[in-house]
Structure 1
Amino acid sequence: MSKLRDGIYGLAIADALGVPFEFKKRGTFTCTGMVGFGTWNQVSGTWSDDTSMTLATCKSIKDKNKIDLEDIRKNFEAWLFEGKFACHGETFDVGITTREALTEGHGIDDFYANGNGSLMRILPLAFTDARDEEIESVSSITHAHEISKKACLDYVHLARKLIAGEKLEELGLNHIKNKPEDEIQSTGFVLHTLEASFWCLLNTNSYKEAVLKAINLGDDTDTTGAVTGGLAGIIYGFDNFPKEWVDELKGKDLIDECIF
């Protein structure tokens, strides 16, 4: 079982867990497992744009055997405009910056365009030898501001350390671990998502605990879940995911087709 598969499945499962609860405020719900409907009225196990764009990135790397920005963009456009890489062949929950960038044909570098839309899909690059400039360029297909690019670099660098077998608790993140929950924000702002994902991982001891903690922070539940789940998948491995969640996950054939 490859670490890439652990990470991508970890991301997709957490994304699907979070989809029904997106935009709900912390404390108004409790996610304990895979359910359907809710915010987006999707059947249980349906993942969103987070996984779709991650798979679009994976498929380009698989097809081109390198980081090909134009091919990745082409896959993103196929997802947005044709439903390719979507769980049920139809897109939903598309971020404002992502839609604008793919419609206009260039990344958006405005400060207010620092949503988490490139962070949520950057994980596949951790499994390549992509240079920092390439990682930033893949972010910049949609999110071109320095804050978003730096967040993607930080995430990929951390993921690479975990892939190499380093322990999360030894990576100098205690300043995040020791924050109280009410100081952890789970909005769509990229730095909130990055910090929340690290905090959830540092304060739990299993894949299940980590992703449920992420989703139960509320607000941007699918993306906080996905960003956390990708790293938790690397740490704990596919065999430690709850079997019922794996069984309920939709689109597994598509996921397997895209993994390189």
Structure 2
Amino acid sequence: INNGGGLLLAADPAGEKDGQQQINLKFLKTEEGKSYAAAFTNVEEQKAGNEGQQSSAVLLPVAELLQIAANHPHSDGVVINPFSNSFILLKEAIVALQNKMRTQNVEERLKGSAGIFQAVAAYYEEQKKLPEGEAMPEDKKRAGIERVLQGFLQAMELNAQLLVAIVSTEKKEGEIADGQVLLNHLTTQDGRDAIAVFTSGEQIEKNPAETAAIAMPVQDVLKAAIHISESGKMDGLIINPWSQSFFLSLDMVKWLLDAKMRGEERAKENEEKRAMTQGLSETMLYSALIGGSLGIAKEKDALGEAPYREQAFSYRPAMGSVLLAEFHSLNTERKLSFPDMQEKFYDWKSKGMYALEGQEQDAVETMDASIMRFATGKGPKDCGIDAEDDSFLSRMLPFAMMLCRRLHQFSDMDRAMLHDAVRLTNNNPKAMLMGELYATMLRNLVLHLGGESLEEQLQAAANYVALFYEEEEAENEEEKRLNEEAKEQHREDVKDYDALVASFEILKPFLDLKSLEGKKAEELSGKESCEATLLLATWVLLHSKSYQEAVESALSVKGSKNLPVVVSTLAAAYYGLSQIPKDWVNALAGKEEVREIAIEWQMRWLD
């Protein structure tokens, strides 16, 4: 049966009924008047009898053949290979075998709910440690309940089952006329009505005379409790009522079903994230270094008109080298380590690491100042100077991509991480807000959060960032008190929260992208602050229909050398690698080094 094997059953075809082939069993009768269905292990055994004994046969799965023999009113069992070394399997033996297999299957399905039993047992162990009559402290009680709930969640994850007490009837297995089963309710000493469930057959045997039960999936048991409560009295479940019992209230049942639903939604979301982030590291690193090279080419008057010459992709700006240092640090450390990043910045500056042929293409004041401060003993987060320049936006990519990991939910810890990343070079609240906004924009574009269109996703990112810092006027004293409590929590979670709130004005132009889109490029260009560059980059994206158009537009307007990097990465996040011209990627200097770092980062942080 376990191997899915079959036997030949002596039978004659009897036509079709309701679309199914019917058969007439051939029985062999003994002198004692017993009738046995004949089965054969192979064709030779079927033909081994005398001419008058041979008959036609049908090949059936062993389990199905035994079921037919057990249920036939004239059958006393099965005789196997009756014309040679015969063996009789009595009907009682068949039924015993079926019951054994049914029990084994149920016990196998019950194994997944062992965590519930263990959690309840642990709860009682804690109670035993206390003097008789003393109530369990609230913190220990809460911890015990949480363990039981975790046991239920794990059981649902494993598709495990519980044994549920049913009302015994004359009908098979407690079934009633409509094909449903009547669940047996117990009433607790304090008058609560509960469904009785058991984690094993052993628990039922503690009071077998009182208990008939069927196996049901854990999730179905919980749903049944809710369903019954909607039309009658039901207060929850009582687990293992004949021994160490535990009452699971209806509120807990509802919480478990909600948690299961949220878990399924997260699982679906994570699978979607997996699809959206496939090959993301290569896409983003190529786009950043393409944008950086084109920005330097423009600054050196080596760009020309589109389509660009191969030379335009032969540069690597200082911030491109710094970007690779950050990605490499995350690969080697396998965690976020700002000290290690600063060490690698120093290696770049002093040894030419991560630079093309070890040569710097340009200079960045904030980067040089940061490395100098680190060399004098300052901590990584104290190395930044008070500057609003846009160079740091060119190295925010890895921190933004960390927000795209599967199973990741954005929190205040991420917000603080982004600010600390900015602080490596720019210890300025406006820079921190722009760094957070850029990272949130990139996350939304990669994961398609906030809507279907690019504009909707960018607008949702701006609104999300602003919501945390915007101060709303309280309409009454109670609301004022709640606002102050929220601020205190924000101050604990985010360093320099008040300074960031004071810089809120910098976010306002991003809160109305329709208005921004209606402006002319000349109104936004000409400045090199982080705000101006991100604002102009957003304008370029809103006026472009493809990756290539966005990058070429960024190179045609009057902006800093970092503008093409910001536009290229955001456009690549939305349009994907397939939209980056292949000749641009093929012409990119140092492409193999970039690809190697990207593949390892993808494996460690995204896949």
Q: Structure 1-normalised TM-score?
A: 0.87
Asked whether the equivalents of residues 384 and 426 of structure 2 are also in contact (C-alpha less than 8 Å), the reply is: yes
Moved more, 63-72 or 43-52: 43-52
Displacement, 1:109? 3.6
Distance in 2, matches of 1:95 and 1:227, equals: 16
User: What is residue 96 of structure 2 aligned with on the other side?
Assistant: none
Map 1:236-247 → 2, pairs under 5 A: 236-247=575-586
Q: Which of the residues 315, 321, 330 maps onto 1:52? A: 321
Q: Which of the residues 287, 294, 297 maps onto 1:20? A: 297
1:183/1:61 CA distance change after superposition, 3 Å: same
1:66/1:186 CA distance change after superposition, 3 Å: farther
Displacement, 1:31? 4.1
RCO higher in structure (CA 8 A, sep ≥6): 1
Moved more, 120-129 or 183-192: 183-192
- Counterpart amino acid of 1:252? K
User: What is residue 534 of structure 2 aligned with on the other side?
Assistant: 194
Map 1:41-120 → 2, pairs under 5 A: 44-105=313-374, 106-110=382-386, 113-120=387-394
More helix by share: 1
Distance in 2, matches of 1:4 and 1:178, equals: 33
1:200/1:121 CA distance change after superposition, 3 Å: same
1:197/1:114 CA distance change after superposition, 3 Å: same
Asked whether the equivalents of residues 12 and 47 of structure 1 are also in contact (C-alpha less than 8 Å), the reply is: yes
Asked whether the equivalents of residues 287 and 572 of structure 2 are also in contact (C-alpha less than 8 Å), the reply is: yes
User: What is residue 279 of structure 2 aligned with on the other side?
Assistant: 2
Displacement, 1:30? 5.9
Distance in 2, matches of 1:71 and 1:186, equals: 36
Map 1:227-242 → 2, pairs under 5 A: 227-242=566-581
Displacement, 1:137? 0.8
Aligned length: 248
1:255/1:115 CA distance change after superposition, 3 Å: same
- Counterpart amino acid of 1:240? Q
Asked whether the equivalents of residues 366 and 385 of structure 2 are also in contact (C-alpha less than 8 Å), the reply is: no
Displacement, 1:36? 6.7
Distance in 2, matches of 1:233 and 1:206, equals: 9
Displacement, 1:51? 1.8
More strand by share: 2
Displacement, 1:249? 0.6
Q: Structure 1, residues 209-246: CA drift from partner, whole Å, max 9, x if none?
A: 1011111123423x100111011111111121112211
Distance in 2, matches of 1:65 and 1:154, equals: 25
Displacement, 1:60? 1.2
Q: Which of the residues 543, 553, 560 maps onto 1:203? A: 543
- Counterpart amino acid of 1:117? S
Displacement, 1:55? 1.3
Displacement, 1:258? 2.1
Asked whether the equivalents of residues 67 and 134 of structure 1 are also in contact (C-alpha less than 8 Å), the reply is: no
User: What is residue 183 of structure 1 aligned with on the other side?
Assistant: 523
- Which structure 2 segments of 5+ residues have no match? 1-277, 375-381, 404-412, 460-512, 602-607
Moved more, 211-220 or 144-153: 211-220
1:23/1:202 CA distance change after superposition, 3 Å: farther
Distance in 1, matches of 2:426 and 2:333, equals: 23
Moved more, 183-192 or 226-235: 183-192
Asked whether the equivalents of residues 79 and 91 of structure 1 are also in contact (C-alpha less than 8 Å), the reply is: no
User: What is residue 441 of structure 2 aligned with on the other side?
Assistant: 158
- Asked which structure has the greater CA Rg, the reply is 2
- Counterpart amino acid of 1:256? R
Distance in 1, matches of 2:299 and 2:558, equals: 7
Displacement, 1:188? 2.5
User: What is residue 91 of structure 2 aligned with on the other side?
Assistant: none
Q: What is the Cα-based RMSD across aligned positions, in Å? A: 2.1
- Which structure 1 segments of 5+ residues have no match? 38-42
Q: Structure 2-normalised TM-score?
A: 0.39
- Counterpart amino acid of 1:196? L
Instruction: Say which SS state the counterpart of residue 284 (structure 2) adopts.
Output: helix
- Counterpart amino acid of 1:145? N
Aligned residues: percent identity? 24
Distance in 1, matches of 2:280 and 2:313, equals: 25
User: What is residue 256 of structure 1 aligned with on the other side?
Assistant: 595
Q: Structure 1, residues 102-140: CA drift from partner, whole Å, max 9, x if none?
A: 112243342xx2111211100111221471111111111
Displacement, 1:33? 3.7
Displacement, 1:23? 7.7
Asked whether the equivalents of residues 79 and 85 of structure 1 are also in contact (C-alpha less than 8 Å), the reply is: yes
1:115/1:104 CA distance change after superposition, 3 Å: same
Displacement, 1:44? 4.3
1:225 aligns with 2:501: no
Q: Structure 1, residues 64-101: CA drift from partner, whole Å, max 9, x if none?
A: 22211101111111112211111332112121121112
Instruction: Say which SS state the counterpart of residue 133 (structure 1) adopts.
Output: helix
